[in-house]
Structure 1
Amino acid sequence: MEWVKRGAPVLIAEDDQKTGTLVAAYLEREGFRTRLSHDGREALDMARSETPLLVILDLMLPGADGWEVCQTLRRDSDVPIVILSARQEELDRILGFTLGADDYVMKPFSPRELVARVKAILRRTRSQPLASKTRLSHGGLVLDLEKRVATLNNRRLALTPSEYCLLKTLMSSPGRVFERTELLTALYPDGEAVVDRVVDVHVGKLRQKIGDDPVRPSIILTVRGMGYQLAEAAAT
């Protein structure tokens, strides 16, 4: 597995020592290196110094809670984030995705399923493009598919892995209407259970980052009752 060979650790920020140790054990069985933290501030320091492959993040952390850690990580990097929490309200899950999480796993949880989700996210965010195209463009918006970098008017965009995947899907076929179910499949190809509104959350964040007016969008268009499409006019 390419992500294991890279040697970067999975950072587990979990206040319950037993849970953290359990998650680490299951990941290590699959060849991952892990680092464990029981404090939000410490987790942020470790993320800055070690550049983790992925972060598994509990919300009820001392020092800095999971919401703050998630927001700070996403502001500073595009590291994949999986929230692992006993908070099961839909609003909590929506907030997690809004702050930049790539997945939200509720406790009690299956360690095997959590590992499967970690692998799915890493496959999704690190897979190489199958087509011969190495670049997609739409006006001043450019995706470098080899480097997995998005730029707007030559300025690099700080996209989360999920936002990048969503933008790549839309830019692959300007003018085509993608139903929400199609976009969910692109984001979660292994069929992980997610909140239906997660696509809307990611689209909203993506519009902000590419400067698309959320009230009257001109780049990512909403097709009522169906889904979303990338406007054709600026496609190149």
Structure 2
Amino acid sequence: MSKILIIEDDLSIGEMMTMYLYEEGYEVKRAENGTQGEQIFQTFIPDVVVLDIMLPDIDGMKLCSIFRTGSTVPILMVSAKSEVTDRVRGLQTGADDYLCKPFSMREFAARIQALLRRSQSFPTPVHETPAGHPIRLDFEKRCLYVNNKVVETTFSEFEIMRLFWQNEGRVYSREELLNKVRGFDTYVTERAIDVHIANLRKKIEADPKDPKHIKTVWGVGYKFLPDPSLS
């Protein structure tokens, strides 16, 4: 049974989400503020976190960053803020998806299912790079290594790297990456992929402004080269 942590201070919305997911067969716990949410997070070990941005005691963006310092758990942000800048900021902070209020419970559940599907559906072999290569992925531990040091990634960032790694040199459009990583058409569409790519470049490239591994194919999308000298 998958475990969902909902951090939502609005009583009616929080109870509605909790009840709906419970009836869908999930184990659900809900926190009414950020402090309580952080405490439950440590003991409950959720498979997905649903995080409201506007909490009474701590900004949801900040709480998302706190979770990201030690976990790659999928995070679905929910908010009444629907501006593109708010959605992009949420993704940059480390969220994997962003759902604007008001929303239907069916769409809410679909987002949860998609995040779970992506986190559970892949085989778990360890993929090593040849000696001397700076980048390495460990699928079983869900770890990305750069120069033998662990680099923290969000759920979506790791899945993008996994897809790139399994298909090195293949060019993916933004739409293809979105469909592969998300599993369905999300509200934040192609701009989300640009944000994730920019974040990954900051983490794996010596010079993110002149990337050698994650290359832009103008007018098409992106491709990954573990060894740029072979391009």
- The TM-score with structure 2 as length reference comes to 0.91
What percentage of aligned pairs have identical amino acids? 38
Match of residue 197 from structure 2: 203
1: CA distance, partners of 2:134 / 2:70:
24
- Are 2:212 and 2:228, in contact at CA under 8 Å, matched by a contact in 1? no
Q: Map of 1:128-147 to 2, 5 A cutoff?
A: 128-129=122-123, 134-135=126-127, 137=129, 139-147=133-141
Match of residue 27 from structure 1: 21
1: CA distance, partners of 2:10 / 2:229:
50
Q: For 1:120-177, what per-residue CA distance to the aligned partner results, in whole angstroms no more than 9, with x for missing partners?
A: 10110121239xx641537221222333332223322211110011011112222222
1: CA distance, partners of 2:84 / 2:227:
37
- Are 1:212 and 1:220, in contact at CA under 8 Å, matched by a contact in 2? no
Residues matched between the structures, number? 228
2: CA distance, partners of 1:18 / 1:81:
21
Which portions of structure 1, spanning 4 or more consecutive aligned residues, are displaced by more than 6 angstroms?
none
SS at match of 1:63: coil
Query: Does structure 1 residue 105 correspond to structure 2 residue 105?
Result: no
For residue 217 of structure 1, the aligned residue among 211, 219, 227 is 211
For residue 124 of structure 1, the aligned residue among 111, 118, 122 is 118
For residue 157 of structure 1, the aligned residue among 125, 142, 151 is 151
For residue 82 of structure 1, the aligned residue among 76, 80, 98 is 76
Match of residue 68 from structure 1: 62
2: CA distance, partners of 1:232 / 1:140:
8
Query: Does structure 1 residue 231 correspond to structure 2 residue 215?
Result: no
Query: Does structure 1 residue 92 correspond to structure 2 residue 86?
Result: yes
Match of residue 33 from structure 2: 39
1: CA distance, partners of 2:82 / 2:222:
28
- Are 2:175 and 2:189, in contact at CA under 8 Å, matched by a contact in 1? no
1: CA distance, partners of 2:166 / 2:226:
11
Q: For 1:107-132, what per-residue CA distance to the aligned partner results, in whole angstroms no more than 9, with x for missing partners?
A: 110112111110110110121239xx
2: CA distance, partners of 1:173 / 1:79:
24
2: CA distance, partners of 1:114 / 1:95:
20
1: CA distance, partners of 2:212 / 2:177:
19
- Are 2:99 and 2:187, in contact at CA under 8 Å, matched by a contact in 1? no
1: CA distance, partners of 2:103 / 2:206:
38
Q: 1:155 to 1:11 in 2, by over 3 A?
A: same
- The TM-score with structure 1 as length reference comes to 0.89
1: CA distance, partners of 2:126 / 2:73:
22
CA-atom RMSD in angstroms: 2.0
1: CA distance, partners of 2:208 / 2:134:
18
Q: 1:79 to 1:106 in 2, by over 3 A?
A: same
Match of residue 51 from structure 1: 45
> Which runs of no fewer than 5 residues in structure 1 stay unpaired?
none
